[in-house]
Amino acid sequence: MKRLFLKTALAVAAVATVGLAAAQTKTIKFANQNAKGHPIVMGMEKFGELVEAKSGGTLKVNIFPGGALGSDQANLSALQGGTLEMASMNSGILASLVRDFAVYDFPFLFANPQEADAVVDGEFGRSLHAKLEERGLVALGYYELGFRHITNSRRPINRVEDIAGLKLRVIPNPINVDWVSALGANPTPLPFPELYAALEQRAVDGQENPLATIYGAKLYEVQRYLTLTYHQYNPQSILVSKRFWDRLSGDEQRILREAAAESIKYQREQSRAAVASTLENLRKAGMQVTELPPAEVAKLRERMKPVIAKHSANVGEATVNAIMAELSKLRK
């Protein structure tokens, strides 16, 4: 009888221990629009590995790429509501919460990735992220989506005038609608998960995205012409639901911050290393690639000036002056 009692007690204790361990494990859902294999998703996966290692398995990260949990707008709402723990998305999308973030969507803002690193990792980038806390978000830093380019299914673009008349999908925000309109094209705001089908069905003629996104989403299957325009550079904010963040201990918050910092370095390295090979893969997949000559890029920049002036007023003079001052210092 004593042996039976002892075995029963040990079994109950074992079950309780397993139950306690399960109860202590926190699971983090981390969402993004890009496909598995994309440098953004690679950064997220590295983040997950680091978090689990640093926490001894008490924090577990589940990655949801490819818009599996809905559009960026749906993810943003879920983060604020506390039903999604983390997401990474284009920083410009956050302008719907804090207008200052629209500055990241200004055409031809950054000349190269190193300029972008210095700005977003510095005081300016941190100050914008700090403004998100009162909107229910905690930001851990910036991944790199990279420079955007235009694709379409109708014709090669060799001159700025060739863009006129094309129906282009854009990220749903005002500045992207305006710069496409300024080129005489027809902007069509669409969430990213709807893009492939819209291109396949010819509901839109083209779109604009970085090379890794064009390749990862297999847009080469429904687009023939790629024009290298480098017209925007996208930093991607790494976001945590504040409702979830506030339930974490100080040590758990530290682990997430450390893992984010390490994964950012890794992600940017992967992103930049993949540019040349991704372009070659797109050519092999059948895309016809052109690059606008300098004279056409100058015309493109000129067309963007009224758009930048309009949205500078919307974003706020202080924010625009602050980022331009940072860029001016870097360029000296």
The one-character DSSP state at 100 is G
The predicted pLDDT at position 18 comes to 44
Structural tokens at position 44: 């997220």
**Does residue 216 contact residue 37 with C-beta atoms inside 8 Å?**
yes
Checking if the pLDDT of 2 tops 70, the result is: no
Which band of pLDDT confidence, cut at 50, 70 and 90, is reported for residue 129?
A: very high
Q: Where are the domains of the chain?
A: 2-331
Give the percent of the chain with pLDDT over 70.
93
**Does residue 282 contact residue 214 with C-beta atoms inside 8 Å?**
yes
- In order of 23, 25, 101, 255, 318, the CA distances from 195 in angstroms are 40, 37, 23, 36, 35
**Does residue 80 contact residue 296 with C-beta atoms inside 8 Å?**
no
Which tops the pLDDT comparison, 1 or 256?
A: 256
Checking if the pLDDT of 200 tops 80, the result is: yes
The region of weakest confidence among 1-10, 31-40, 145-154, 284-293 is 1-10
**Does residue 48 contact residue 203 with C-beta atoms inside 8 Å?**
no
Structural tokens at position 150: 């235009």
Residue 98's region, left for phi above 0, alpha for psi from -120 to 50, else beta, is: beta
Chain centroid to Cα 331, Å, comes to 26
Q: What is the pLDDT of residues 213-233, one digit of tens each?
A: 999 999 999 999 999 999 999
**Does residue 109 contact residue 233 with C-beta atoms inside 8 Å?**
yes
The CATH H-level (homologous superfamily) assignment of domain 2-331 is: Bacterial extracellular solute-binding protein, family 7 (3.40.190.170)
Radius of gyration of the chain (CA): 22
Q: Which neighbouring-strand residues pair with 285?
A: none
Task: Give the pairing of strands 59-64 and 206-209.
Answer: unpaired
Cα separation, 110 vs 234, in Å, equals 10
Task: Give the pairing of strands 288-291 and 225-228.
Answer: parallel
Cα separation, 319 vs 307, in Å, equals 16
Kind and range of the H or E run holding 87: strand 86-90
Q: In one letter, which amino acid is 317? A: E
The one-character DSSP state at 4 is H
3-state SS, one letter per residue, for 156-170: CCCCHHHHCCCEEEE
The predicted pLDDT at position 172 comes to 87
The one-character DSSP state at 38 is S
Checking if the pLDDT of 161 tops 50, the result is: yes
The predicted pLDDT at position 24 comes to 83
The predicted pLDDT at position 235 comes to 97
The predicted pLDDT at position 14 comes to 46
Which band of pLDDT confidence, cut at 50, 70 and 90, is reported for residue 3?
A: low
- In order of 91, 233, 275, 298, the CA distances from 107 in angstroms are 14, 8, 20, 12
Checking if the pLDDT of 21 tops 90, the result is: no
Q: Which neighbouring-strand residues pair with 241?
A: 137
pTM of the model: 0.88
